[in-house]
Amino acid sequence: MIRDKKIGLVIPIFNRVNYVEQCFDSLIKLTEKPDLIVLVNDRSNDRDTLDFISRDWQDSFGCETIVINNGVNSGVKYSLLKGIDFAFSQYCNIVINLDSDAIVKPNFIVRLETLFNDFHSKHIVSGFNCISDGNPILEKSTDGKWVKKNLCNGINMCFNEEQYKNKIKPNLQRESGNWDYDSSLSCKEKSIPFIVTTPSVVQHIGLVSSMGHGHEEKADVANDFYSLCLPDVTLFGIDTNNRDALERAAKISQKDINFGAVKIISDPLFKNGREGYSEFCIKKLNEHFDTSHVLVIQYDGYVVNWKAWDNEFLKYDYIGATWGYKDNMNVGNGGFSLRSKKLCKALAEDDTIDDFHPEDDKICRKYRRYLEKTYGIKFAPEEIANVFSIEAYGASLFPRGNQYSGQFGFHDMHVDFTGSDIPESIRLKK
């Protein structure tokens, strides 16, 4: 894209260095940089935050970076006023505001600038699509790249100086009221809805407010922001007895990941309980996905840390948490496991594979050498499996015990999440 306008990015900051670090890390990865970043420090009193934002960020961000320090803690409205006014004074044609407890996609600037130009600067643009009953979609684009809405969350907006002076600044100058809601009403009165990117390119990660209040269940989040895209992986689960719990596991697994396909089955496709499940996994699972790999979950085994994903996982035909064996056939548990189409097809079509239960033991121990020799099936080495998942069933027998240590997923209710940063809301409910 040939840029004909100077873009400024304004970020108000007050404490919460853990969120600021994640915000900055996402900005470093931008594929297209703004021309100016203005960091407005609202008199943070946390030493870690002060030390962090006092660094020279110009080289890391790849653009001019200015830090403005408020003399006293004055609140987000004042910080935005100061930062935005400064950005326009530096000849920015477009200004984007972003909360410091938000992360962005690498194409954040590209998407906002493109939409803003496509609509000829008539509409304020946002990259944060928070779906709510009180803010319905007015119109969807035919290509799925934007929607129109009457209300816009203050986490992120993109606007020019005229829009700022007429729609936003008067509401930032008010002593009371929510500036973003009031700005939305100003736009609505003129019948000029907001243009919001789909999918979102901004996500709100702040579960603790700048005042120290927790609001994990109430925080606004973008419903279509995915930190990780796995187009070659199908998320799969089947359970007729624990349907609600399995659907919860699937929902949590998809919180930050956009899978190539999702198939959660509660129909009775087999009989005989666990034995029937094992036979299904070996002989029928192949029929239920078309991607190169399938991620098998259960109600007590699912994704809890998307950041632990490694594309190296896709080089293997089977990965599951390690057990406690010492015979080089220690991978692994099937309750939360990644399997290739190649493996599942071989299992389904080979009539010599006729012993099914328990399915992970049969695949990974009884038939492992046969699968490796006959089909070239690759089982992940233990060091890879230990990053992928942790198994807690019979944990006393395992060298690593049941202490969670950052794995992509887990299996069994006895996994100990004590001391981890996994939120209580996504831990297994015992």
Domain harbouring 308, CATH code: 3.90.550
Residue 268: pLDDT band by 50, 70, 90 thresholds?
confident
The whole-number average pLDDT for the span 327-347 is: 97
Distance CA 110, CA 3 (A): 10
Shared domain check, 249 and 150? no
How far apart (Å, rounded) are the C-alpha atoms in residues 213 and 216? 10
State the chain's mean pLDDT as an integer. 93
pLDDT > 90: percent of the chain = 82
User: 337 - beta bridge partners?
Assistant: 296, 320
CATH number at residue 129: 3.90.550.10
In a shared domain, residues 53 and 187:
yes
Q: Same structural domain for residues 165 and 233?
A: no
**Residue 228: beta bridge partners?**
257
For the chain, the domain total comes to 2
pLDDT at 229: 85
State pLDDT tens for residues 122-143: 999 999 999 888 899 999 999 9
Local confidence band at 210 (pLDDT 50, 70, 90 cut-offs):
low
Q: Which residue has the higher pLDDT, 46 or 210?
A: 46
Residue 214 lies in a domain: no
In whole angstroms, give the CA distance from residue 196 to residue 137.
10
Residue carrying the six token digits 């304004």: 10
Is the pLDDT reported for residue 397 higher than 90? no
Q: Residue 231 carries which side chain, given as an amino acid letter?
A: P
- Report the pLDDT value the prediction gives residue 218, as an integer from 0 to 100: 60
- Given a cut of 90, whether residue 95 has pLDDT beyond it is yes
Query: What is the span of the domain harbouring residue 156?
Result: 7-204
In a domain, residue 305? The reply is yes
* pLDDT(148) > 70: yes
Looking at residue 406, its pLDDT comes to 96
Band of residue 211 on the pLDDT scale cut at 50, 70, 90 = very low
Give the number of residues written for the chain: 430
* Whole-number pLDDT of residue 1: 56
Q: Which helix (H) or strand (E) is 116 found in, with range?
A: helix 108-118
Same domain, 12 and 108: yes
The per-residue pLDDT for 197 is: 97
Give the tokens for residue 134: 């009180």
**170 and 282 housed in the same domain:** no
Q: Where does residue 301 rank: exposed (0-12), middle (13-18), buried (19+ CB within 10 A)?
A: buried
Q: Is the pLDDT of residue 36 over 90?
A: yes
Residues 166 and 232 reside in one and the same domain: no
Mean pLDDT of 177-185: 95
